[in-house]
């Protein structure tokens, strides 16, 4: 089966996020006085071939931990969806 | 014969020629090493210079860690060989796990290209061996992600084992504990954000980096003689 993965990488809480802070500081000038706690991160999308969802999840999480995020400073979050069930062309 | 220093070149590295020139001024024979090399035969020290290895894509140093030369650098380091990472090279060393912690974006999100002053806070490393503790050096910085970060436990380890080799006199980037450079437990792998090669001749405004480079060359000469 083929799974679509989306991994979001954000700086861990407590680690300075100057990018998010800079964006937040710009908001009042646009009238967004009601927006707070801006955090900047990255999003990655890729596809994984695996026999089942658990395996796909494990592979995607391994990839996120080993490369996409630096565990010293970042957390990652995975969203996985079935893209093509077995037997159907992907 | 003088100590042989290899200066690694990744795609996007841009300080390699300055680094070669500075190490030759410090008494070494310096050569460039392309990042696809799988062996470091005949070298007495390895330097990962500044620049933007692999475009700094993903994170500075994140892709460089997969260059074939890095396996050879890891073996060289494990065997006790002197390894120095300058700026982007420091980032490569942390991403590779050869040094702890990480370099994050500067406080205030500023790219810094400025003179800086650092203090020698440990002489238990191949870069600072032989210098007087407390010596202040004028060495420029040139980075965007140069703010050193590590967790509390790692910081305690670094402090307790005297592994913070250089601290900023005035912290320019928000580095934890004013850290400008650290070493591994054995003292043979060192990373620093300031550029000693850019302070290797009075014509450049400072020759304060030379004692550091000479210390590394001396450590390399010991390897050579062994």
Cα gap A43→A65, rounded to integer Å: 14
How many domains, in total, are found in chain A? 1
B223 pLDDT band, cuts 50/70/90, is: confident
Of B27 and B223, the one with more pLDDT: B27
Let me know if residue A40 belongs to a domain: yes
**Domain assignment present for A13:** yes
Please determine, for residue A86, whether its predicted confidence score (pLDDT) is greater than 80. Answer: no
Question: What's the pLDDT tens digit per position in B101-121?
Answer: 999 999 888 899 999 999 999
User: Torsion angle, CA of B57/B58/B61/B63, rounded to 10 degrees?
Assistant: -80
Angle between helical axes of B16-25 and B210-225 (0-180°, round to 10): 80
Mean pLDDT of chain A: 92
Per-residue pLDDT reduced to its tens digit, B141-175: 999 999 999 999 999 999 999 999 999 999 999 99
**Does any domain span residue A32?**
yes
What confidence score (pLDDT) does residue A68 get?
97
Q: Does the pLDDT of residue A87 top 80, yes or no?
A: no
Distance, CA of B29 to CA of B3 (rounded, Å): 6
In a domain, A66, yes or no: yes
pLDDT value for B109: 84
pLDDT of B94 > 80? The answer is: yes
CB pair distance less than 8 Å for A67 and B150: no
* Average pLDDT over every residue of A54-64: 97
Does A89 map to a domain?
Answer: no
Q: Kindly identify which residue of chain B lies nearest to residue A44, measuring between CA atoms.
A: B58
CB B167 within 8 Å of CB B121: yes
Polymer length of chain B: 226
Best A12, A21, A38, A70 residue to mutate vs chain B (most B CBs within 10 Å): A70
Residue range(s) defining the domain that contains residue A36:
2-84
Residue-level pLDDT at B43: 96
At B1 the pLDDT is 67
Average pLDDT over chain B reads 96
Across A46-74, average pLDDT: 96
Domain that holds residue B192: 4-225
CATH number at residue B93: 3.40.50.880
- Residues from chain A that touch B111, judged by Cβ atoms under 8 A, are none
Which 3 state secondary structure label does DSSP give A67? helix
Residues whose CB falls within 8 Å of the CB of residue B19, separated by 6 or more in sequence, listed in order = B7, B30, B47, B49, B50, B86, B197
Per residue in B186-218, pLDDT tens? 999 999 999 999 999 999 999 999 999 999 999
Q: How large is the ipTM?
A: 0.81
Q: Is the pLDDT of residue B97 over 60?
A: yes
pLDDT reading at A71 higher than 60: yes
Number of domains within chain B: 1
CB contact under 8 A, B102 and A16: no
């Amino acid at each position: 089966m083929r799974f679509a993965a989306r991994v979001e990488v954000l700086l861990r809480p407590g680690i300075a996020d100057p990018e998010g802070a800079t964006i937040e500081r710009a908001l009042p000038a646009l009238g967004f006085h009601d927006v707070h706690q801006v955090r900047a991160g990255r999003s990655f999308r890729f596809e994984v071939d695996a026999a089942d969802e658990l395996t796909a999840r494990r592979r995607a999480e391994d990839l996120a931990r080993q490369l996409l995020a630096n565990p010293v400073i970042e957390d990652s979050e995975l969203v996985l969806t079935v893209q093509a069930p077995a037997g159907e062309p992907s | 014969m003088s100590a042989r220093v290899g200066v690694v070149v990744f795609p996007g590295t841009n300080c390699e020629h300055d680094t070669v020139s500075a190490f030759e001024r410090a008494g070494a024979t310096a050569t460039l090493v392309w990042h696809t090399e799988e062996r470091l035969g005949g070298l007495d020290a390895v330097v990962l210079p500044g620049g933007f290895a692999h475009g700094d894509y993903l994170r500075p140093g994140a892709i460089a860690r997969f260059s074939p030369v890095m396996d050879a650098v890891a073996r060289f380091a494990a065997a006790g060989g002197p390894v120095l990472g300058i700026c982007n090279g420091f980032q490569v060393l942390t991403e590779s796990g050869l040094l702890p912690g990480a370099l994050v974006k500067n406080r205030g999100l500023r790219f810094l290209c400025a003179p800086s002053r650092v203090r020698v806070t440990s002489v238990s490393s191949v870069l600072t061996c032989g210098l007087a503790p407390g010596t202040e050096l004028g060495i420029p910085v040139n980075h965007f992600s140069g703010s050193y970060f590590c967790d509390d436990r790692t910081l305690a380890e670094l402090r307790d084992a005297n592994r913070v080799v250089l601290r900023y006199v005035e912290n320019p980037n928000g580095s934890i504990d004013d850290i400008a450079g650290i070493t591994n437990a054995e003292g043979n792998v060192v990373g620093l954000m300031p550029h000693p090669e850019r302070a290797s001749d009075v014509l450049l405004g400072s020759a304060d980096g030379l004692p550091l480079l000479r210390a590394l060359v001396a450590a390399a000469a010991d390897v050579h003689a062994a």
